[in-house]
């Protein structure tokens, strides 16, 4: 979490706003990374894992928006369009035996999950950029 120490001469509301911007973009940048991983997994035919990472990308993007709006505790675990990929892609006890999660998902499902996540990530980034602020310089890098 961001440091809530108020620097000398700063107005507390400016610090809170900066913290909101930074926290939003921390989540959005991790969301973008999860989306990149999902796309690599899709290309390498790891469809269940691609679906799982796509779901995580979308969830983190939505959390970024909520943090950007000032929420401090964000318990989001549901992204309606991608809920089917939340646990069933990862846990054998969430699918009927003897099925294995990594064998249940197709290329088409993984592609659909990645596209949905990409749309959510792009919309979240645009919303935060417009209504909260741009990526802080300290988060830009390699």
pLDDT at residue 131 tops 80: yes
Give residue 45's region: left, alpha or beta (phi > 0; psi -120 to 50): left
Give residue 7's region: left, alpha or beta (phi > 0; psi -120 to 50): beta
pLDDT digits 0-9 by tens, 3-34: 444 455 554 444 455 689 999 999 999 999 99
The answer to whether the CB of 102 falls within 8 A of the CB of 49 is yes
Q: What is the mean pLDDT of the chain?
A: 86
pTM over 0.75: yes
Q: What share of the chain is helix, strand, coil (3-state, %, to 5)?
A: 65, 0, 35
pLDDT digits 0-9 by tens, 97-126: 999 999 999 999 999 999 999 999 999 999
pLDDT digits 0-9 by tens, 38-87: 999 999 999 999 999 999 999 999 999 999 998 876 666 667 778 888 88
């Amino acid at each position: 979490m961001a440091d809530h120490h108020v620097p000398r001469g700063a107005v507390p509301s400016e610090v809170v706003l900066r913290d909101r911007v930074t926290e939003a973009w921390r989540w959005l940048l991790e969301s973008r990374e999860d989306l990149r991983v999902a796309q690599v997994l899709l290309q390498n035919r790891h469809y269940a894992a691609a679906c799982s990472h796509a779901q995580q990308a979308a969830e983190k993007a939505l959390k970024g928006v909520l943090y950007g709006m000032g929420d401090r505790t964000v318990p989001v675990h549901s992204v309606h369009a991608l809920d089917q990929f939340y646990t069933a892609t990862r846990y054998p006890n969430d699918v009927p035996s003897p099925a294995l999660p990594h064998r249940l998902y197709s290329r088409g499902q993984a592609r659909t999950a990645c596209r949905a996540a990409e749309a959510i990530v792009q919309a979240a980034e645009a919303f935060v950029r417009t209504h909260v602020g741009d990526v802080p310089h300290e988060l830009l890098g390699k």
